[in-house]
Amino acid sequence: MGLLSEFDQRDRAKLGDEMHRFTADLYPICRSITGNGIRQTLKMIQDRIPLETFEVPTGTAVFDWIVPKEWNVRDAYIKGPNGQRILDFQECNLHLLNYSMPVRATMSLSALKPHLFTIPEKPDWIPYRTSYYKEDWGFCLSHNQMLALQDGEYEVCIDSTLANGYLTYGECYLPGRSTDEILISCHACHPSLANDNLSGLSVATFLAQILSGRDLRYSYRFLFIPGTIGAITWLARNRDTIGCIRHGLVLTCLGDRGPFHYKKSRQGNAEIDRATAHLLRQYSESPKILEFSPYGYDERQYCSPGFNLAVGCLMRSVWGTFPEYHTSADNLNFIHPKQLAESLGLCADIFDVLEENRRYRNLNPYCEPQLGRRNLYRSTGGGAIEAQINARLWVLNLSDGEHSLLDIAERSGHPFPLIHAAAEALQESGLLAIIPETSRGLEEESQENTAHSSGDQSCGSSSHS
Amino acid sequence: MGLLSEFDQRDRAKLGDEMHRFTADLYPICRSITGNGIRQTLKMIQDRIPLETFEVPTGTAVFDWIVPKEWNVRDAYIKGPNGQRILDFQECNLHLLNYSMPVRATMSLSALKPHLFTIPEKPDWIPYRTSYYKEDWGFCLSHNQMLALQDGEYEVCIDSTLANGYLTYGECYLPGRSTDEILISCHACHPSLANDNLSGLSVATFLAQILSGRDLRYSYRFLFIPGTIGAITWLARNRDTIGCIRHGLVLTCLGDRGPFHYKKSRQGNAEIDRATAHLLRQYSESPKILEFSPYGYDERQYCSPGFNLAVGCLMRSVWGTFPEYHTSADNLNFIHPKQLAESLGLCADIFDVLEENRRYRNLNPYCEPQLGRRNLYRSTGGGAIEAQINARLWVLNLSDGEHSLLDIAERSGHPFPLIHAAAEALQESGLLAIIPETSRGLEEESQENTAHSSGDQSCGSSSHS
Amino acid sequence: MGLLSEFDQRDRAKLGDEMHRFTADLYPICRSITGNGIRQTLKMIQDRIPLETFEVPTGTAVFDWIVPKEWNVRDAYIKGPNGQRILDFQECNLHLLNYSMPVRATMSLSALKPHLFTIPEKPDWIPYRTSYYKEDWGFCLSHNQMLALQDGEYEVCIDSTLANGYLTYGECYLPGRSTDEILISCHACHPSLANDNLSGLSVATFLAQILSGRDLRYSYRFLFIPGTIGAITWLARNRDTIGCIRHGLVLTCLGDRGPFHYKKSRQGNAEIDRATAHLLRQYSESPKILEFSPYGYDERQYCSPGFNLAVGCLMRSVWGTFPEYHTSADNLNFIHPKQLAESLGLCADIFDVLEENRRYRNLNPYCEPQLGRRNLYRSTGGGAIEAQINARLWVLNLSDGEHSLLDIAERSGHPFPLIHAAAEALQESGLLAIIPETSRGLEEESQENTAHSSGDQSCGSSSHS
């Protein structure tokens, strides 16, 4: 039982190494919200999982937004008064203000300075800055490097294009028995930043790889999209099938050494919120559960009031709170194989809960059934019973049609897998029956009953190309 | 924005001084629940605000009560064995048991003693005692003074009248756009006691002065009434219009140096309760919010089960808990201009919340609208956003028709004014629309729609005289 | 007022002594879930209260269970290699594994050992072990005694019978004005163990004795039954009248020196749960209130999902948590007259709350009524009021048809008896009226109105024999 049950500790260590290598491969690429960087990234993900990519033309209206021009960079640098390149995009793509328009000019230091971005508090680090929706240009550099700049004439070259083109995103749909789906979304628009969000891309990719080809209750949809505009574009193009999303996770910052943090969905008490909180209590007595707020990653869009999807955000360290965030220090040394693998494991555990969380009915609801003659109890009375038997009593007592296994796990304090195992043992003994549920989409397992009731809601893999 | 927005720090200091002077003018008057003391007090309030006064005859039945006889005092004293006045009502009106019947007698010290009230724990202070509903007489004095009394014959004179007359109260009604109203009530029946409740009278008077002539959403009704019997009388005479009261505050003990305390209405989670608690959290991390109890000031009557109005009680120090309470030490030195002005400011802040607390609808509920092109976002990405922008995201996210601005302020942790400003900016940009609400009374702003639905409930200024 | 109000401190001390003597009389009997031990026990209870006994034949199907064979023991011992009895059932009935099948054999020590039970951590104590539902035999002894056993041949004799017979239980039904009933259940199947559960038997017996012949609101049903199978049998035979049970308590471990513990019913917020928690707050600021769990005593059966009765469990020390539990150290020295009497008192206090907990209607709901002229207030104003008057104000304020006296006690923080006394005083003054309630059963007090509405639910004393 369990999506990762066939992976032992050594397998997981190997997985972590492999995930870290994958982030290392992706690291040098200059990604942005459009352009060849994200295309190349999706191609590398496609080597591992069945990813469909979509190209949405510049100018396409998506809700209140317009798909912006496509941005590509051939080269960018600043040459100092002595004619040497003092800042070079080829060396580090963070040097260039992301989405800078093309520039070729010579100017004094004082004219240049308003276009330079540094972090005075971390004088050796290069910041990451963007200007997506206002045409601008600029360079990012360490504060020490800026302080060392001499007066004189500087040659600025940004050999970029900002032109009609496409917004690119990738989607991996893994159909399950039900068309009800779990959405996993991560942003793929950051350049050379490891934790935010190559770690998320890596965890999502490896999750999809592990789930692929399995017999699953839910369908899974993985989105690799540019932040904000990508989520908005996807939502705008998939309004008809959004009703199939039952649970969702935004994945980001999953490779550093911080403890897990889970930011709840706007609903606040959705099954995904409760499942994740339940699991995090096993990592820590005071798990880091954050209330929803409308600022953050793409949960902002999924949880906008018109959708209000049950989508939370899973992180280790929280964006904006660790000093390396959005700087050159968020590099490959900042993320670790062990933490990546552990994050993958937690996601798999969350899916395990969602997959197995059902309501059962106690078929002997009057008094306890006699577990002893079914070999589900201990034989000599008078001493203590084990957790396994206690879990069975809980499942019997609360399987009244109202309580799901997750409800029972929460109320009993037993871990979900123990409760689930108890339910399975009781079901095998004929003491418990699954209560069939009507899916929002279309359950293959009970197709005849629900085929018509699912109505005009057409779920399943996206039909546009 | 804000009822006191035109008052800067210096203006507020001046206001405080003026309020303190006003209490000093009222201080010497011998008030009681009926009689010329309260008449004179209302007259002085009338110099500042449009106050209507009402005279209700002795013997009038008001619910379970009867309006009592009118009490007036010309003089009262005790002369000692040596013929000197040892207690003199003219010097301090607390010396006389309030509502003492007329007496003229000579008696021994031992016969006198049962009629003397002192505070042994505070031997220099004079207590304040009353006997409204049982005919009695008595004197209050310091414990030290009583201990010094020699045996001998004492001459007692209480030149008072207890006769048919009137119960007097004052009402100031400031009509707003809606006939839904906010009730502000304070008791005006205590003699020379400063905090309880000249401070309340002063705050209420100055609030009415500031609100007068403004364009307001709500109508405001200020009551200056004798405690208990006054509230009961007013409620009995205004049963038909009580349905217009949406929010209410009893004001008392607002001039001392204690921290603010708010006692919640019986409803416990009314808008007035939440608004006040929200604002008090800005004064203190652990604001002093008291649960409702049926003992206290006139909220006892407004919150009786037949009315159950949303009326709370705002205080600084809580009656009965500070040693000066109901003693001669609750004098003009016990209350301070700064605290009076601060109390006035808090009340105005509460009204600001109530005036502006509405529900809005996000007109772009699917994903975030693009704030950038409306100049409602920052331009360079990658760094932190300010509270102002964060507040806008909250307002957009929660403006789903369910949440009021106060709900949003509470959930976001942002102060109400910031949330309100965000809503106004978003509304100006066309992103938000006010959700019209049906008032309990009659909103002039949407008169045509609600005129008939307000039915037989006739609100507005009181029609009796 | 109060079921024990006629017992002063000395009477209660006497009661405690008498209760302890009663447990001492019951102590030597070898009880089990069937057999003459429980028959003899019920006979001794019958000497004190009107107890009906029931005999249910072996093989009777009761829900998922079958009434087991009847077990009786004439003698049991082990003789050592020297021919001396080294373990003797006549000396201590705990020595015999409860429900041991008959055995007569000679065997080596190593063959014997798998049939011996000890507690290594408590080497001087004899454990209590059972084997009800698996045919087995064995002996319990102190660990030290086992260590001293020499190699050699041992003669084992268990002169017991396991044969078709009956399961015996006792029921004491005390009819009240209403057929709605309070269930008190205790298990009577443990051999020489004092706290678990002769203390419970004793408290239940004395409660029934005190309630007998009283004019009571509720009917009371006391069950003296074998654990688990007895509760299941009773429930199976009384399905039609179970609907009359409004409140219930399982009583056990009530004689030791531990603080009271109350385990809530599955409902969790039933009146019995709230009443008991309210009373326990008077014993301790942090009363020991345990959440429901499906393991424990017979509340397991009463709270199974098909019944979900409002039955909690009252204990002092909690089973399984004190070292003496299920050992020979749970003897007559472990329980004490004072604690038994105190437990009896708490149960009586709980019944007092349930008997008197009603809803009243304030007949003067608009403003406070004038308590003064009804002699329900103090006469001189200005000072503090006492708890008695405060309680009256609370009762008036919350008697709106929604709140019961227990609600008012909880919200006000006043003890229930003070609130109840206030309600009675107000009712006598004509200020309050009882709100009649529809019982689940049949209230004699309002028979005409509810006789038909009680429908096919036939409550009252059990009709089978």
Confidence at residue C458, expressed as pLDDT on a 0 to 100 scale: 52
Does A382 sit within 8 Å of C127, measured CB to CB?
A: yes
Report the C-alpha gap between B42 and C370 in whole angstroms. Answer: 26
Interval B438-465 mean pLDDT = 45
- Chain B residues inside the 8 Å CB shell of A98: 381-382
Q: Which residues pair with C311 in a beta bridge?
A: C248
Two structure tokens written together for A255: 């490779």
Which candidate in A96, A99, A133, A301 is best for mutational testing of the B interface (most B CBs within 10 A)? A133
Phi, psi of B438 (to 5 degrees): -80, 125
pLDDT of C465 over the 60 cut: no
Predicted confidence band at C445 (pLDDT cuts at 50, 70, 90)? very low
Nearest Cβ partner for B64 among C369, C393, C394:
C369
Q: How far apart are CA A240 and CA A459, in angstroms?
A: 8
**Taking a C-beta distance cutoff of 8 angstroms, is the pair A265, A312 a contact?**
yes
pLDDT of residue C337: 98
pLDDT of residue C285: 85
From the list C180, C172, C118, C181, the residue with the least C-alpha distance to C145 is C118
Nearest Cα of chain B lies from the Cα of A216 at a distance, in angstroms, of 30
Q: Which of B363, B366, B375, B412 is best to mutate for the A interface (most A CBs within 10 A)?
A: B366
Beta strands (DSSP E) in A273-332 are: 288-290, 311-315
Q: Is the pLDDT of residue B240 over 80?
A: yes
Looking at residue A397, its amino acid is N
Is A286's Cβ below 8 Å from some Cβ in C? no
Interface residue of C101, C293, C330 to substitute, partner A, most A CBs within 10 Å:
C293
CB-based contact (8 Å) between C375 and chain B? no
Which residues of B, range 52-81, sit inside 8 Å of C by Cβ? 62-65
Rounded to whole angstroms, the Cα distance separating A189 from B402 reads 35
Q: From the CA of C285, how many Å to the nearest CA of chain A?
A: 25
Q: Residue B46: its pLDDT value, please?
A: 97
Which tens digits make up the pLDDT trace of C34-87?
Answer: 999 999 999 999 999 999 999 999 999 999 999 999 999 999 999 999 999 999
Is pLDDT of A450 > 80?
A: no
Residue of A nearest to B402 (CA): A305
Give the residue from C364, C366, C371, C419 with the most B CB atoms within 10 Å of its CB, the best one to mutate: C366
CA-nearest residue to B431 within chain A is A64
The pLDDT value given to residue B459:
60
Answer yes or no: do B365 and A128 touch at CB < 8 A.
no
What average pLDDT does range C107-112 have in this prediction?
Answer: 95
The residue that leads in pLDDT, B428 or A456, is B428
Kindly indicate the confidence band of residue B455, based on its pLDDT and cuts at 50, 70 and 90: very low
Determine, for residues C382 and B128 on separate chains, whether the beta-carbon distance falls below 8 Å: yes
Mean pLDDT value across residues C392-421: 96
Give the mean model confidence (pLDDT) for residues C175-196.
Answer: 97
With CB atoms and an 8 Å threshold, state whether A393 touches C300.
Answer: yes
Residue to substitute from A125, A295, A318, A326, interface B, most B β-carbons within 10 A: A295
Q: What is the pLDDT of residue A379?
A: 60
Q: Is B307 on the interface with C (CB under 8 A)?
A: yes
Tell me the residues of chain C between 163 and 202 that have a Cβ less than 8 Å away from chain A: none
How many alpha carbons fall within 13 Å on the CB side of residue A161? 10
Chain C residue at shortest CA distance from A413: C293
Q: Which residues of B touch A294 (CB under 8 A)?
A: 368, 393-394, 396-398
pLDDT interval class at B377 (50, 70, 90): confident
Q: What is the mean pLDDT of residues A289-307?
A: 97
Which chain B residue has its CA at the smallest distance from C401's CA? B305
A246-284: per-residue pLDDT in tens? 999 999 999 999 999 999 999 999 999 999 999 999 888
Q: How many CB atoms lie within 10 A of CB B9?
A: 8
What is the average per-residue pLDDT within A332-344? 97
- Percent of chain B exceeding pLDDT 70 equals 92
**Spacing of C-alpha C149 from chain mean position:** 41
pLDDT tens per residue across span A176-233: 999 999 999 999 999 999 999 999 999 999 999 999 999 999 999 999 999 999 999 9
Vertex C293: Cα angle to C289 and C295 (nearest 5): 120
Q: How far is A294 from chain B (nearest CA, A)?
A: 6
Chain B to chain C Cβ contacts (< 8 Å): 88
pLDDT at A414 over 50: yes
Give tens-digit pLDDT for B133-165: 888 999 999 999 999 999 999 999 999 999 999
* Model confidence at A452: pLDDT above 70: no
> CB distance C294–A370 less than 8 Å?
no
Residue B460 pLDDT > 70, yes or no? no
Mutation target to probe the C interface, by most C beta carbons within 10 A, among A359, A367, A388 is: A367
Q: Which residues contact B215 (CB under 8 A, 6 or more apart)?
A: B176, B177
Of B64, B231, B294, the CB nearest to C397: B294
Residue C457 has pLDDT above 80, yes or no: no
Residues of C in contact with A362 (CB under 8 A): 305-306
Contacts A114 to B, Cβ<8 Å: none
Cis peptide before A269 (omega within 30 of 0): no
* pLDDT digits 0-9 by tens, B37-72: 999 999 999 999 999 999 999 999 999 999 999 999
Interface check B301 vs C, CB under 8 A: yes
What is the band of C283 on the pLDDT scale with cuts at 50, 70, 90? Answer: confident
Q: Which residues of C touch A372 (CB under 8 A)?
A: 133-134
C372 in contact with B at a CB cutoff of 8 Å? yes
| pLDDT of residue A339 exceeding 50 | yes
Among B323-327, C15-19, C280-284, the minimum mean pLDDT is found in C280-284
Q: How far apart are CA B333 and CA B192, in angstroms?
A: 12
In this predicted structure, what is the pLDDT of residue B457?
A: 44
Cα torsion angle, C232, C236, C237, C238, sign? positive
Q: Give the pLDDT confidence score for residue C5 in this predicted structure.
A: 87
Q: For C328-353, what is each residue's pLDDT tens digit? A: 999 999 999 999 999 999 999 999 99
pLDDT in tens, A145-183: 999 999 999 999 999 999 999 999 999 999 999 999 999
| B394/A293 CB distance under 8 A | yes
In this prediction, residue C282 carries a pLDDT of 85
Q: What SS3 state is found at C21? A: helix
DSSP state of C3: T
Residue numbers in C near B301 (CB within 8 A): 367-368
Confidence at C448, pLDDT banded by 50, 70, 90:
very low
For residue C400, what is the nearest residue in chain B, using CA coordinates?
B305
Fill in the DSSP letter of residue C218.
S
Subunit contact C380:B65, Cβ cutoff 8 A:
no
The string over B370-396, giving b where at least 16 C-beta atoms fall within 10 Å of a residue's C-beta and e elsewhere, is bbeebebbbeebbeeeeeebbbbbbbb
Per-residue pLDDT, C459: 60
Q: Closest by alpha carbon to C381, among B133, A300, B144?
A: B133
Interface residue C364 vs chain B (CB under 8 A): yes
CB contact under 8 A, C133 and A399: no
Indicate whether this complex's ipTM tops 0.95: no
Q: Say whether residue A295 is in contact with chain B using an 8 A CB cutoff.
A: yes
The answer to whether the Cα torsion of C305, C310, C311, C316 is positive or negative is positive
State the DSSP string of B372-433.
GGGT-S-SSBTSPPPHHHHHHHHHHHHTEEEEEHHHHHHHH---HHHHHHHHHHHHHTTSEE
pLDDT at res. B441: 47
Helix (H, G, I), strand (E, B) or coil at A114: helix
CA of A360 vs chain C CAs: smallest distance (Å) = 12
Q: Do A368 and C228 touch (CB under 8 A)?
A: yes
